[in-house]
Amino acid sequence: MDAEGFHERTPCPVCESEDTVTFYYDEGFTELECPACGYRSDAEEIAALHRFAGDVLEKRRFEPAIPDPKFPLRSMKA
């Protein structure tokens, strides 16, 4: 996902600076960044990605309905 950035003098929605960079992606979307105040139009999406790390949760260990036998078991030899 490479983007091309252009200084188009789009006003920043936070500080109203016109020293912003508009990035155009091949996928069809744009992002706005302001070096003056640090505003990024994709900040919420990036925060959501960090919040939901996608960790794989392990299942609970299976507990058999039949209890273990009370007599010792031997291992088999081949």
Alpha-carbon Rg for the chain in angstroms: 28
Share of the chain above pLDDT 70, in %: 68
Q: How confident is the model at residue 66 (pLDDT cuts 50, 70, 90)?
A: low
Domain residue ranges of the chain, discontinuous segments joined by +: 3-51
Measuring CA to CA, how many Å separate 55 from each of 2, 50, 51, 60, 69? 27, 11, 11, 15, 37
Give the residue, 19 or 49, on which the prediction is more confident. Answer: 19
- What are the phi and psi torsion angles at 3 (to 5°)? -125, 155
pLDDT at 72 (0 to 100): 67
**How confident is the model over 8-20, as pLDDT tens digits?**
999 999 999 999 9
pLDDT at 4 (0 to 100): 85
Q: What is the average pLDDT across 52-78?
A: 66
